Amino acid sequence: MRRLLALLPVAAFVIVLVGFMVGLRRDPSILPSMLIGKPLPAFTLAPLRANEAGLASVDLAGQPVLLNVFASWCGPCKEEHPTLLRLKAEGVPIVGLDWKEDAADGARWLDANGDPYLRAGNDRTGRAGIDLGVSGVPETFVVDRRGRVRYRQVGAITPQIWAETIEPLMARLKAES
């Protein structure tokens, strides 16, 4: 019994080690989505501020759009934010989904850091996030003009990711008719 007990730590360690080895081969920022090529799940979200329009899935049709999931409590969102503001200045349409917090917190955060969104909705319960398969913030979906999800970015959009992956995709989607 004592001998088996003493073997326990080394056994647990081997499992952890194998996990690390496999984990190391994966890039934590690449995430597939079940939704790729499928229409965006339907949702209707309340606005962040009382006098504004909210966000519904039907709002996203018509032109290729970035759907950015954010929250004021999320550190990497703050890192991503300057990039989003730059994209807004360049005329890229972005809509925001404020995830798992009170609308007032999200609104305050946008007031403080700048608002890159055409419109934004509050998903306090995380219900829309579940339908979208959101696993954490920040997360961004590229949605084409027919309202289909074409790409999912997990984690912050860096200028490099934008230039190498998303910008070419957006250009392609714009050319699609």
Partner 1 sequence: MAAEVGQFALILAFVLAIVQAAAPLWGAARGEPVLMALGRAAATLQAGFVILAFGCLAASYVACDFSVALVAQHSNTQQPLAYRFAATWGSHEGSMLLWVLILAIYGGAVARFGGTLRETLQARVLGVQGLIGVAFLGFLIFTSNPFLRLSPVPLEGTELNPLLQDPGLVSHPPLLYLGYVGFSVAFAFAVAALIEGRVDAAWARWVRPWVLAAWVPLTAGITLGSLWAYYELGWGGWWFWDPVENASLMPWLLGTALLHSSLVLERRGALVSWTILLAILTFSLSLVGTFLVRSGILTSVHSFAVDPQRGIYILGIIAVTTGAALGLYAWRAPSLRTGALFSPLSREGGITLNNLFLVTLTATVFLGTFSPVFIEILKGDKISVGPPYYARTFAPLAVPLLVLVVFGPMLNWKRDAAAAVFRRVRIPAAIAGGVLLTGLVTVGWRNSVAAAGLGLAGWLVAGALAIPGRRWWAGRAELRRSIRTTPTAVFGLALAHAGLGLLTLGIVGVSAWHSDKVLTMHPGESTAFAGRTLTLQSIVLADGPNYQARQAHFDITGRGGPYSLVAERRAYASSQTTEAAIHVSPLGNLYVSGGDEADGGIVVRLWDHPLIVWIWIGGFTMALGGLVSLCDRRLRLGVAARAPAPRLAPAPAAQAPAE
| 135 counts as binding partner 1 under rule CB under 8 A | yes
Binding mask 26-55 for partner 1 (x = CB under 8 A): x-xx-x------------------------
Do residues 82 and 112 make contact, with C-beta atoms less than 8 angstroms apart?
no
Nearer to partner 1, 64 or 96 (CB): 96
Q: How far is the CB of 11 from partner 1 (least distance, A)?
A: 9
Is residue 117 a contact partner of residue 126, using CB atoms and an 8 Å limit? no
| Cβ–Cβ < 8 Å for 100, 123 | yes
Rounded to a whole number of angstroms, the minimum distance from the CB of residue 126 to partner 1 is 11
Applying CB under 8 A, which of residues 40, 66, 67, 137 lies at the interface with partner 1? 137
Q: Residue 159 interacts with partner 1 (CB under 8 A)?
A: no
Residue list 139-158, contact with partner 1 (CB under 8 A): 154-155
Q: Return d(Cα 96, Cα 140) in angstroms, integer.
A: 9
CA distances to 70, 71, 74 from 105, rounded to whole Å, are 11, 8, 12
Least Cα distance to 41 among 130, 114, 168, 122 occurs for 130
Q: Should residue 89 be labelled a site residue for partner 1 when binding is judged by CB under 8 A?
A: no
C-alpha–C-alpha distance, residues 13 and 32, integer Å: 29
Q: How many residues does the chain have?
A: 177
Which residues here bind partner 1, judged by CB under 8 A? 2-3, 6-7, 9-10, 13-14, 16-17, 19-26, 28-29, 31, 73-76, 78-79, 108-109, 111-114, 135-137, 154-155
